[in-house]
Chains A and B, each alone.
Chain A
Amino acid sequence: MSDVKRMLAELQGICNNPKAQLDAALEREQKVVGVLPYFCPEELVYAAGMLPFGLWGAEMQTSLSGRYYPAFTCSLLHTALELGLQGKLDGLSAIMVPMCCDSLKCFGPNWKYGVGSVPVIDVAWAQNRKIPAGEEFTRARFRAVLAKLEEVAGKPVSDEEIAAAVAIYNANRAALRAFSAAAAAHPDEVSPLERCEAIKAGYFMDRAEHTAKLQALTEALNALPKGSGKPLRLITTGILADSPALLGILEEQGIAIVDDQVAQESGFFRTDVPATADPVAGMSQRLAMLEGCSILFDPEKERGRELVRLAQGADADGVLWIMAKFCDPEEFDYVPVKRMLDKAGIPLLAVEYDQQAGSFEQARSAIEAFAEMLRG
């Protein structure tokens, strides 16, 4: 096995067995805090010496969550709740729930009365994020979250510790950006699924450790000659693009992901926390700088412009939108963003995705046809 494959396999192992990471942390007596999307102040968890643990649902059938959420709730929240209800997340010291979409606003109570044993920390951030009052609100409420995290951790957290955590997170973001670029340049070495797993592993492990592994991997990749094949070059967009079955179809069709605008992926790593005297203010400012996500207030649909820029910048053949079923923000964005892509002459395929689906045959047909179409 080559170095690259070995390192990818290692990250794959971490990504595909988050439970082992959780157990290992508990074994070493480190507290673990679950973090739901989107844009929670994870750095504060890290600064408090605890392990932030990403909760992005899972591909699974649910049986218990239907007692709380109606069938028309997105599968991310259905399956995240299901994991809790099944006791798979026992051991978490708390979960952070940002109330930034209508279904997320309902997660906390469903969790509280369903799971019970793990306390909920509500997170509020400003949608009017580019005005000073919005930045100040987010900063103040992140401070309130910090106070709750200090209680969970059982110790106070200094600004120096927060600044150090921010630095570690920014370094991780830089490493992820470098890896994403290296993966795009070496599609023969890194499959769409492997790319995703390497990125996603960071949600379950120490970010500093993740950075070290990614840097070694990126270095090894960049030492290799650039890929000689002629894959189709696609940009992915959406909330999640981590389905092994879907990504497997991309690989079969000779498709490379050359950049992404996916909440779980570049939504985490495209934008750093700026340096500020109050590190929590910097975290709030990052929210003001973020673009490219339907969860954010975006009256100019900067998301569409960014997508056009990304596609043109990466010389992409098209855009693949992994459309999260029952996600209001995504479903609203689809119409104007598609128009912007059409205007720019960038082909778009939207594939509906549901983590509880089990079958991807329709998606397979659509992706195959899209690939056939783009190849002419």
Chain B
Amino acid sequence: MSAEEAKSAMIVLRELQDKIAQDAWDAKNRGEKAGWCASNFPQEITTAMGIPVVYPENMGAAVGAKGGGQRMCEHAEGLGYSSDLCSYARINLAYSDLKECQELEIPFPDFLLCCNNICNCMIKWYENIALELDIPLILIDIPHLEGESCDEDRVRYIRAQFDDCIRQLEEITGKKMDYDRLREVMEISQRSSQAWLRAVGTMENTPSPFSGFDIFNNMAVACVGRGTVEAAEAFEQLADEYEALAAEGKSSFKGEEKYRILFEGIACWANLRTTYKGLQSRGINLTATIYGPAFSFLYQNLDELMAAYAMVPNCNCFERELELRVHDGLKNKVDGAIFHMNRSCKKWSGNLYEMERQFREITGVPTMVFDGDQSDPRCFSEAQYITRVEALTEIMESGKEATRR
């Protein structure tokens, strides 16, 4: 077995993420046009056209995780941005002004690709970047669903913008869309998505073969790199590894898996260690998160692709969002659920209390809500978090005792 083959999928994925970032730098240095892109923008377009893009949201998470969130947010506040705004946006706006960031830098863009299927905050954020850097902004507007499913009007509207986007990108970058290549990228994306689903699907095993916090680290590639063969292969390897562990009843989770929980919301990147340790040290494993099943984007053709992007988390009606969590929570046999009231995200937080109540009523498992933020450590209180985790643990334990008796 060569050293190359011996690498675990986690390492392969991390290297792949670094490679995606490096490719963008290399392309930029060669003089190619590169862009900044919203995480849930249809990646099929840029992958098929071979246009390098980087993701400010990933930068926001990484800078938060590496301890730069507070400094960058404070700089944005000095520019006049309210501390109530999304911390990813503040970090990125600060970077656009400073042109440097010691934790992580991404190449500056020649154009912006925006999509508001996850939130409308993206639109205002990108408007300001476009103005600040004086570059074109291409928006694919995906309105929040009115009902359970994606209607034909939406498919037509998104499709027209999809086509417009390709035309504009051809003009900006000088590269042509090859529609055979697009079909190929769509197929590869399906392969990645299926592998991703298979990997996260193993969380239903007891114990789960891995710590659910790993999903937070892998989803970046799942989200943005899934149109490449390397990603498809890495996810297939990941799924194989997890399945093998599960077959042996083993897990890479450190310690005994005493309790299984659903974690709702974006990770607290700036407090990742505290939030992880607070659970892991009590034998609590994360076995359900919306990042698992929901970021799979399944489709057979272009129209279905449009609909898939209109049905990403935070774009669906409440009932469907709830159903996704309940289904995942029950399937993965959670004993409790933790809801992150994320100060940055108005969309994710605006129905969180109701989501928590209904989830608790339907599943019958205890739940708790804590205050935090995706990348601004100033909105998180360790004391509050730990107290609530302890209380939740006690309730989960008394529930288990009752079952044992």
Contacts and interface: CB of A to CB of B under 8 A. Distances in A.
Q: Determine whether A and B are in direct contact in the complex, meaning some CB atoms lie less than 8 angstroms apart.
A: yes
Contacts of A69: 350, 353
B157 A106 contact: no
A376 interface: no
Interface stretch (A132-140, A166-174, A262-270): A132-140
Given A70-B353, A99-B144, A334 B157 contact: no
Nearest to B322: A109
Given A99-B144, A134-B141, A297-B139, A72 B85 contact: no
A131 B167 CA distance: 14
A126 B116 contact: no
Interface stretch (B54-62, B100-108, B252-260, B341-349): B341-349
Contacts of B86: 328
**For B132, B343, B349, which residue has the most chain A Cβ atoms within 10 angstroms?**
B349
A137 B146 contact: no
A310 interface: no
A360 interface: no
Nearest to B162: A133
Interface stretch (B26-34, B119-127, B293-301, B394-402): B119-127
B156 A133 contact: yes
Contacts of A209: none
B346 A103 contact: yes
A333 B123 CA distance: 11
Nearest to B84: A326
A124 B127 contact: no
A103 B346 CA distance: 6
B276 interface: no
Interface string B160-174: 110010000000000
Interface string A117-155: 000001111111001111011001100100000000000
A240 to B, nearest CB: 17
Contacts of A102: 119-121, 345-347, 350
A299 B137 contact: yes
B350 A141 contact: no
Given A297-B139, A332-B127, A137 B154 contact: yes
Interface in B163-190: 164
Contacts of B20: none
A73 B346 contact: yes
Contact of B124 (A103, A137, A328): A328
Contacts of B353: 67-70
A128 B161 contact: yes
Nearest to A143: B153
Contact of B351 (A110, A122, A326): A110
Interface string B130-158: 11100001011101101100010110110
B82 interface: yes
Given A332-B125, A336-B131, A106 B351 contact: yes
A347 interface: no
B123 A141 contact: no
A101 interface: yes
A193 to B, nearest CB: 27
A68 B153 contact: no
A334 B82 contact: yes
Contact of B156 (A72, A106, A137): A137
A52 interface: no
Contacts of A328: 84-86, 120-121, 124, 346
B352 A70 contact: yes
Given A100-B120, A136-B157, A298-B127, A126 B141 contact: yes
B364 interface: no
Contacts of B124: 294, 328-329, 332-333
Interface in B289-325: 317-318
Contacts of B343: 72
Contact of B347 (A105, A123, A297): A105
B138 to A, nearest CB: 10
5 contacts: A73-B346, A103-B347, A124-B144, A137-B154, A140-B153
Interface of A: 67-70, 72-73, 99-103, 105-110, 112-114, 122-128, 131-134, 136-137, 140-141, 144, 294, 297-301, 325-326, 328-329, 331-336, 338
Given A72-B349, A128-B157, 8 more contacts: A70-B350, A123-B146, A133-B157, A137-B154, A144-B151, A298-B127, A328-B124, A334-B82
